[in-house]
Amino acid sequence: MPENRQVLIASVPEGPLQTSHFELRTGASPTLGADQVLCRTLALTIGAGQRAGGLKGSASNAYNPREGIVMRGTGVARVEASNSPSFAAGDLVVGPTGWQAYSAQDSTALQRVEPGTDPALQLGGLGTNGLSAYFGLLDVGAPRAGETVVVSAAAGSVGHIAGQIAKLQGCRVVGVAGSPAKCDMLTNELGFDASVNYKDADFRAALEAATPDRIDVYFDNTGGDILGSALFRMNTHGRIVCCGVVSQYDTANPAPGPRGIPGLLVSTRVRMEGFLVFDYADRYEEARRQIREWVSAGQLKLKITEFQGLDSAPQAFVDLLGGATTGTTIVRV
């Protein structure tokens, strides 16, 4: 059996995440039980939401983090050996590999990946990031051509896709991001109509200037002050898509909700709706077909920040939470 390498939770973080919250372990690769599949991880994706679900635990998560367990995560893997009739050595799969080189997976936990697919595409545009952007924008936000859509964390894994899908619907699209370089990428490379740096002192005025017809759909990946600012800029019967809360993940004390909730929701008749992509599982294939089509036609550009080697996963996560990455964060294992 090959040697396994794993990234463990060394301690559960209370405040901002550091690489010291993780440790590396080397050991034997797992043995297979009945109907299990030995997976060799090829690439992992890291998302900001894992800071909440994977490292804080919550009522809605069956899994709660604790010292000494392998960090949870989704990866693309190659099947090395199989005790299941559903998979054979050489198959490409996606599943809950965790941050480790090898894992024994129940065959029911795995989904087959089309041969030849770049793991980064599978984990980004065709993974929960792309699917969240697709269903969150189109189903929850339901923008109409000509409307103004604002996306926060717009250079991030979900945001950069959501904004481009909004453009494909004929909307005016404004991205909110945290650096001039990210803002430039949105407008110069990804076709956003405007972008605003939320770290600028005059952010609120800049957001107003960028949304002369106010906001019809706000795709919220951040919560916090950006949500508060967008809320006061919503049009009557606008929709706020609550996709993520990146402003609140890396802290022990979530901030209060924005002023104006619920008063402003009443006077503007705004709908604010949380969603999780897993509720749309029976429509994943529809979304993946459409996303592949857009990518092939050059209408949707998928951004990726790549890290090399399993050992780099903790740093990748810290960089992601610190705003140093763009698009989907991928670790090639």
Exposure string for 232-252, b = 16+ CB within 10 A, e = fewer = bbbbeebbbbbbbbbbebbee
Among 171, 196, 243, 331, binds a second copy (CB under 8 A): 243
266 binds a second copy (CB under 8 A): yes
Among 20, 108, 111, 267, binds a second copy (CB under 8 A): 267
Q: Is residue 188 within 8 Å of residue 160, measured between CB atoms?
A: no
Binding mask 214-233 for a second copy (x = CB under 8 A): ------x--x---x------
Closest CA to 87 of 135, 43, 37, 153: 37
Among 256, 282, 296, 297, binds a second copy (CB under 8 A): 256
Question: Which range of residues in 104-112, 194-202, 252-260, 287-295 is near a second copy by CB under 8 A?
Answer: 252-260
* Closest distance to a second copy from the beta carbon of 197 (Å): 22
Q: What is the DSSP string of 50-73?
A: HHHHTTT--TT-S----TTSBPP-
324 binds a second copy (CB under 8 A): no
Among 9, 113, 133, 245, binds a second copy (CB under 8 A): 245
* Closest distance to a second copy from the beta carbon of 34 (Å): 33
Q: How many residues bind a second copy (CB under 8 A)?
A: 38
Question: Which range of residues in 8-16, 165-173, 240-248, 301-309 is near a second copy by CB under 8 A?
Answer: 240-248
Question: Which range of residues in 163-171, 190-198, 204-212, 258-266 is near a second copy by CB under 8 A?
Answer: 258-266
Euclidean distance between CA atoms 186 and 195, whole angstroms: 7
Provide CB contacts within 8 A for 100, sequence distance 6+: 4, 5, 6, 7, 41, 70, 310
Residue 281's alpha-carbon distances to 105, 254, 276, 290, in angstroms, are: 20, 29, 10, 15
Question: Which range of residues in 82-90, 119-127, 271-279, 300-308 is near a second copy by CB under 8 A?
Answer: 271-279
DSSP state of 254: P
Euclidean distance between CA atoms 44 and 10, whole angstroms: 19
Among 81, 264, 295, 324, binds a second copy (CB under 8 A): 264
Closest CA to 174 of 134, 147, 200, 199: 147
What is the maximal distance between C-alpha atoms in the chain?
A: 65
55 binds a second copy (CB under 8 A): no
Which residues are near a second copy by CB under 8 A? 52, 58-60, 220, 223, 227, 236, 240, 242-245, 248, 254-276, 279
